[in-house]
Amino acid sequence: MFDFTDKVVLLTGAGVGIGASAAKAYARDGAKVAVNSVSGSGKKLAEEIEKEGGKALFVQGDVSKPEEVESMIKATVEEFGKLDIVVNCAGIVSGGSVEEMDLDLWNRVMDVNVTGTFLVCKYAMPHLRKTRGVIVNVASLVAVKGIANRAVYSASKGAVLALSKAMAADHIKDGIRVNVVSPGTVLSPSLEQRIQSEPDPEAAMNNYISRQPLGRLGRPEEIATAILFASSEEAGFMDGANICIDGAGSL
């Protein structure tokens, strides 16, 4: 669909879900991909991409830890020679209001969703400056619309959106574009797991679907397409933008 021949892409949180779909799509379109996950799930994906004829590297690490972020970026550049595109998909979804929220959980969500995005961008910048690269940060519908029972998640994704716009302004002079993709509710493995943990999974699924104006949940592949577009040459005039791909949820 897009041409990413000879491009090198680092994707965080790419072991499953949206990140995995994006990694597969980049590889399909010619990119060399570095797949990050905090667990070993990204290794399986990297092996799958290699078996299908693509070029992939597994870089395990926790994005909230500076030394691990530096290591994954160093490994990517050593393996592939450069870095053209960074996609920040790593994130934690947590429910609860401010009153209900435990401080330790608040800090963990902010550490991964916000500090993790900051650290990956920070350490990637010197390499992206050389290639006049692109950053795509994955936020969420909750960054632009209030959703009940999502206090810390909303705060973290709102911060990602604001941070991205600031970075876009800061790095125009470097030729580095920074865009955001904000998904609505997507039927990812993590959501499926949460649904199956409910006393009545069928009722839980129907509840999620009933809140969607389009009458269905999003698919990871649909979000991946938006991510690829935001980083493509075809979108070269788009900088500091937020693509809401949310089934009309933000209307």
Query: Three-state secondary structure along 31-94?
Result: CEEEEEECCCHHHHHHHHHHHCCCEEEEEECCCCCHHHHHHHHHHHHHHHCCCCEEEECCCCCC
Reply yes or no on whether 26 is catalytic: no
Q: Residue 160: which of 246, 97, 229, 89 has the closest Cα? A: 89
Catalytic, out of 26, 123, 153, 208? 153
CA distance 47 to 60: 14
Burial class for 81, CB neighbours closer than 10 Å (0-12, 13-18, 19+): exposed
| Residue type present at position 195 | I
Structure tokens at 21: 């779909």
CA distance 242 to 230: 9
Active-site residues: which are they? 153
